[in-house]
């Protein structure tokens, strides 16, 4: 049962690599793109740390999260999406906290999840209103 938790986190970190890469492809600025690619690379390192714990080497990233995030962006816009993602990264940081007691190497992962949250909030603020795409529900009513 315990290993299943670590496997779930490992898969999630792998999936997040694709998510950040997908977001980077549609970045509004070079700085935003660079930040998203950096966050994706960090998620890849997190998956590697978890691979060391689980011993499972054959997991592959799934594109479901990336597709969901890109669909959500079209509905709520990038700024709102970054706010939602920042909250998710904060929750993940808290979820890693109890696991650090057993696997000290996860302390870096926990810390970096909070860093991701701060980076996403920073990008949200930097984008400004002009970069927030019109939500699809407004287009349907027009």
Report domain extents, the chain: 2-141
- Dihedral angle over CA of 4, 113, 44, 71, nearest 10: 90
User: Residue 64 contacts by C-beta under 8 Å, 6 or more apart in sequence?
Assistant: 15
pTM: 0.86
pLDDT in tens, 52-86: 999 999 999 999 999 999 999 989 989 899 999 99
Q: For residue range 107-138, list pLDDT tens digits in order.
A: 999 999 999 999 999 999 888 754 445 444 44
The architecture that CATH gives domain 2-141 is Up-down Bundle (1.20)
Contact 73, 60 (CB under 8 A): no
């Amino acid at each position: 049962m315990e290993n299943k938790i670590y496997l779930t986190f490992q898969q999630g970190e792998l999936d997040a690599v694709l998510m950040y890469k997908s977001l980077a492809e549609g970045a509004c600025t070079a700085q935003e793109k660079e930040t998203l690619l950096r966050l994706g690379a960090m998620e890849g390192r997190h998956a590697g740390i978890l691979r060391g714990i689980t011993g499972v080497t054959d997991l592959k990233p799934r594109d479901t999260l990336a597709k969901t995030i890109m669909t959500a962006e079209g509905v709520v816009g990038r700024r709102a999406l970054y706010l939602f993602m920042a909250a998710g990264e904060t929750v993940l940081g808290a979820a890693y906290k109890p696991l650090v007691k057993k696997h000290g190497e996860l302390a870096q992962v926990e810390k970096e999840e909070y860093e991701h949250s701060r980076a996403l909030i920073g990008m949200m603020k930097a984008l400004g209103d002009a970069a927030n795409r019109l939500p699809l529900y407004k287009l349907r009513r027009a």
